[in-house]
Amino acid sequence: MRDQVLSRRVAGLKPSGIRKFFDIAATMKDIISLGIGEPDFCTPDPILQAGIQSLQRGETHYTSNYGIIELRRALSAHIEKLYGVHYDPDTEIVITVGGSEALNLAAIALVDPGDEVIIPTPCFVSYQAAIIMAGGIAVEVPSRMENNFALDPEDIRRAITPRTKAILIGYPNNPTGAVASREALLAVSKIAEEHDLVVISDEIYDRLVYGVKHVCYPALPGNRERSLLLGGFSKDYAMTGWRIGYACGPVNIIKGLLRVHQYMVMSAPTMSQKAALEGLASGEPYIQQMVAEYDRRRKLIVNGLNAMGLPTFEPKGAFYAFPKVSVTGLDDDTFANRLLQEEHVALVPGNSFGLGGEGFVRCSYATSYEKIEQALEHIEHFVNRI
């Protein structure tokens, strides 16, 4: 067999820093994990029962490639009610296998080999990989803690070249917890219009915000026809294992995503679609309960990290804190590795999330209040020791 079996694209992909630390932690006992971005809540019971009942009714077959029409209609009404932007459920929404598939569909459908996609970083680890696997070039534009990890439109403008095809943004942000202001998004919109660019907006954490309102990018004036909205049920509804997401956009873009989707997976799981439909119908009280608890944990972890001397920006969305650990004299990889080995607390090094993440670590507060208290005690012991 030839030495180079894998494609250059795949062979050159950087392994996920999140999975690396998760796999190490899985081999150890008594680990307190702040590493995985997954709600610790079980899927709310009405949603759970809807999925079970779907299976019991024998709904175990393929659906339309687009997804069941009842879910698309409910999702269209939901987005319009929340943000005032309308998508035709017949032609402008496709239900996907999680938000991750929606991201990959967008990359494959929009990016030609050599196209550049601008990505504000730090960002979710899959963004760069999705663009690379589609044959494109991920152009990272780092944000800075001094600016509260805010989206800087002028940095995006400076990164544009004749090969730029799209801008990929994700707010509320994973890993920093930053949210994007209306003013910044309007400025991005103006840049996209000037340079005829598509904006892919990943809004998977749209309901998990604290003391601020989420700004839906396609709902801003003039943006609907040149943008793609990605979302899902994993975070807001505690449905990670159900693998159900969506993409919304103008017909000409969604047609492209659907073409890839029908060859890649055919359709999203039927029982998951029925569960998601119930989520839209009855999930709101559960979302509010989870947001209130996340907010309680957010205050605990941010105050605790700052008190021990690890400067931490106050996150306004998602469920992550992003403390600066380089103040200890250790880089983020060394800090996370030693903390795991010496104190059995799992975090993710910030460099896993692209430029701007070096010297930071991501701490997920999607775990119990008590475990966060324990983790903070262990982290403080470690910081004091070094």
Whole-number Å distance between alpha carbons of 335 and 169: 28
Per-residue confidence (pLDDT) for residue 12, from 0 to 100: 80
Q: How many CA atoms lie within 13 A of 185 on its CB side?
A: 24
Task: State the alpha helices, DSSP H only, in 111-228.
Answer: 126-133, 153-159, 182-194
CA distances from 384 to 11, 226, 308, 311, 328 (A): 40, 51, 8, 15, 9
Residues of the chain with pLDDT under 70: 1-3, 17-22, 24-25
Distance (Å, whole) CA 30 – CA 378: 12
Residue 17: the pLDDT is: 66
pLDDT at 179: 98
Q: Which CATH number fits domain 45-282: 3.40.50.1820, 3.40.50.10860, 3.40.640.10, 3.40.50.150?
A: 3.40.640.10
Distance between terminal CA atoms of the chain?
Answer: 49
Of how many residues is the chain composed?
Answer: 386
* pLDDT at res. 36: 83
- Cα separation of 5 and 76, whole Å? 44
User: What pLDDT is recorded for position 3?
Assistant: 65
Task: Kindly state the DSSP code that residue 16 receives in the 8-state scheme.
Answer: P
Please report the pLDDT score of residue 1 as a whole number.
Answer: 63
The Cα–Cα gap between 219 and 185 comes to 11
Taking the mean position of all CA atoms in its chain, how far away is CA 157? 23
pLDDT tens figures, 333-362 = 999 999 999 999 999 999 999 999 999 999
**pLDDT score recorded for residue 382:** 97
H-state helical runs in the chain: 8-11, 17-26, 45-56, 69-83, 98-110, 126-133, 153-159, 182-194, 251-264, 270-282, 284-307, 332-343, 369-385
Pairing mode, if any, of strands 348-349 and 361-364?
Answer: antiparallel
pLDDT of residue 5: 84
Query: Which of the following CATH numbers is that of domain 8-43+285-385: 3.30.1510.10, 3.30.465.10, 1.10.260.40, 3.90.1150.10?
Result: 3.90.1150.10
Would you tell me the crossing angle of helices 98-110 and 126-133 to the nearest 10 degrees?
40
- Give the DSSP letter of residue 236: T
User: Looking up tokens 């070096």, which residue turns up?
Assistant: 358
Q: Which of 277, 270, 274, 296 is nearest to 60 (CA)?
A: 270
CA 203 to chain centre: 7
Domain regions of the chain by residue span: 8-43+285-385, 45-282
Closest by Cα among 307, 287, 305 to 295: 287
Distance CA 109, CA 255 (A): 9
Which pLDDT does position 366 carry in this prediction?
97
